[in-house]
Amino acid sequence: MVQILPKAAAPGIEQHDAEAVNDAANRKLYKKREPIYPKLVHGKFRLAKWVFMILALGAYYLIPFLRWDRGGGAPDQAVLVDFEGRRFYFFWIEIWPQEIYFVTGLLILGALAMFLVTALFGRVWCGYACPQTVWTDLFIAVERLFEGDRNARIKLDRSKWSFDKAWRKIGKHAVWLVIAGATGGAWILYFHDAFDVLSHFFTGGSPISAYLFFGILTFTTYTLAGTMREQVCTYMCPWPRIQAAMIDNDALSVTYRWDRGEPRGPHKKNDSWDGRGDCIDCKACVAACPMGIDIRNGSQLECINCALCIDACDDIMKKVGRPTGLIAYDTDINIEKRQKGEKPSFRFVRPRTIVYAVTLALVAAVMLVALGSRSTMDLNVLRDRNPNFVTLSDGSVRNSYTVKIINKTHEPHQYRISIEGDPALHAWLLGQEDGDLVVTVEPDRTTDFRLFASLPEEAIDRASEPLLFRVEDLVSGEVQVTRSVLQTGYDR
């Protein structure tokens, strides 16, 4: 489809031959993907995205190398998911498998934070923080480095194969692969000592799972950020669908202020701006869009709210001498208000955001309290049920228990077990019938102890005697208690 368009939308403003190829109206379900050539823009949102990209990628690649001394032979990697040792280390926090609810809590926090941010500012996650966005942005920057900006890239793709085209394409894909490999490579550093992995990885000494995940992550990074790009957001990701439930009329969204922009059209020198909109239809916003849509068609599922069209349009508005903000973070409500001559306003405090914020604060508080009061020991008492109880030759009744004590510290600790219940109760550990009930648990271990408790015949007056097991850490003074019973078989 060739359109005859004027070369300039306004004096000195290029008229882009850009088409919103990923717009729902232009997109054909069975058509091959139309390539999108996002044009580089400059402005505050572009700068924000660069800064965030550097911070996010920097954190991702460098965190595995941070050290945190835990002593006692524990790993000294600050952030480590140790599947082999069944521990998750995060700086001063150590999570055991039975404490996986901390991770669940973290996911809930993440979800709530996403709800809140989306209700306030729209899809900022999609536009700035999503790994798909960050890596795609990086891959487009590499593409630009090798093949030039939008027009040069279009020209290169349409040109016949030549040495120039070949080295640019090969160079681009090579750098993509290196970045993808580094992405997959950094991933595996989170699951084993980073320096150890690095020294073994290149000599073939890492476990097969390391190479497998390196391969998977390299492949997905290369394809998702290199070749699939906006298709991931448009077709594969559920978030664009879910966000509809979070966004209401008051949530910010990248908006084309059509009340100010329409009717649009090219602007000729010395023409009056009266009776027409500020949009000169230069399509700079379409050319800049990494999603291949036209923001002027209103809020769309495809739009990731990256705000690059805002930068593109602001640049044009400055050049034609009109106020910036023809495209801006705004709401449809404000457009209506301006049309009625009312003052636009933003309602950040509304029931929805209050509920999200309060829930978020509550969950965070619960998590912090749980984390702060997290014990360094744990106790579990399992009573033998087969046989349920044993009657001894003198008529006394004995029960057997498995006492599990978990020592989460990195030094061996001694623990004193005591049992509160009937005063006639006698308790002893296997092999130490006259000993005091003091046991030692090695660092970072769970140890089972077999404990017997018996009650003389004359003290038995009910079928089930309640017991309270109390275990005191003789080093830290910490105490854990748990309830159990002593079954007597009494039925008189």
The footprint of another protein on this chain (CB under 8 A) covers a number of residues equal to: 27
- CB closer to another protein out of 2 and 29: 29
Give CA–CA dist 62/79, Å, rounded: 11
Confirm or reject binding of residue 390 to another protein (CB under 8 A): yes
Binding mask 416-435 for another protein (x = CB under 8 A): ----------x-x-xx-xx-
The binder of another protein chosen from 392, 438, 468, 481 (CB under 8 A): 392
> Interface with another protein by CB under 8 A: which range of 102-110, 249-257, 304-312, 384-392?
384-392
Nearest approach, Cβ of residue 24 and another protein (Å): 17
User: Cis omega before residue 263 (within 30°)?
Assistant: yes
Residue 313's H or E segment, with its range, is helix 308-320
Q: Among 267, 292, 294, which Cα is nearest to 283's?
A: 294
> Interface with another protein by CB under 8 A: which range of 116-124, 178-186, 246-254, 392-400?
392-400
The binder of another protein chosen from 69, 84, 274, 394 (CB under 8 A): 394
Of 4-63, binders to another protein (CB under 8 A) are 30, 32
Q: Which residues contact 274 (CB under 8 A, 6 or more apart)?
A: none
Cα-based distances in Å from 78 to 57, 59, 146, 199, 469: 17, 13, 37, 19, 36
The binder of another protein chosen from 11, 71, 395, 466 (CB under 8 A): 395
Confirm or reject binding of residue 393 to another protein (CB under 8 A): yes
Q: What is the largest CA-CA distance in the chain?
A: 115
Confirm or reject binding of residue 359 to another protein (CB under 8 A): no
> Interface with another protein by CB under 8 A: which range of 3-11, 85-93, 191-199, 387-395?
387-395
Of 433-472, binders to another protein (CB under 8 A) are 433-434, 448, 450, 452, 454, 456
Contact criterion met (CB below 8 Å) for 138 and 183: no
Give CA–CA dist 460/426, Å, rounded: 13
Query: Considering Cα of 417, then 420, then 421, then 424, what sign does the dihedral take?
Result: positive
> Interface with another protein by CB under 8 A: which range of 15-23, 47-55, 132-140, 386-394?
386-394
Nearest approach, Cβ of residue 383 and another protein (Å): 11
Confirm or reject binding of residue 398 to another protein (CB under 8 A): yes
Nearest approach, Cβ of residue 391 and another protein (Å): 6
> Interface with another protein by CB under 8 A: which range of 52-60, 183-191, 390-398, 478-486?
390-398
Contact criterion met (CB below 8 Å) for 438 and 474: yes
- CB closer to another protein out of 33 and 319: 33
Give CA–CA dist 338/258, Å, rounded: 11
- CB closer to another protein out of 319 and 426: 426
Confirm or reject binding of residue 163 to another protein (CB under 8 A): no
**Count of beta carbons in the 10 Å neighbourhood of residue 45:** 22
Contact criterion met (CB below 8 Å) for 327 and 295: yes
Query: Considering Cα of 246, then 248, then 250, then 255, what sign does the dihedral take?
Result: positive
Q: Which residues contact 397 (CB under 8 A, 6 or more apart)?
A: 389, 390, 391, 454, 455, 457, 460, 486, 487, 488, 489
Nearest approach, Cβ of residue 175 and another protein (Å): 25
Give CA–CA dist 27/34, Å, rounded: 9
Nearest approach, Cβ of residue 59 and another protein (Å): 32
Give CA–CA dist 356/112, Å, rounded: 6
- CB closer to another protein out of 353 and 396: 396
- CB closer to another protein out of 77 and 396: 396
- What does the binding site for another protein look like in residue numbers (CB under 8 A)? 30, 32, 384-388, 390-396, 398, 400, 426, 428, 430-431, 433-434, 448, 450, 452, 454, 456
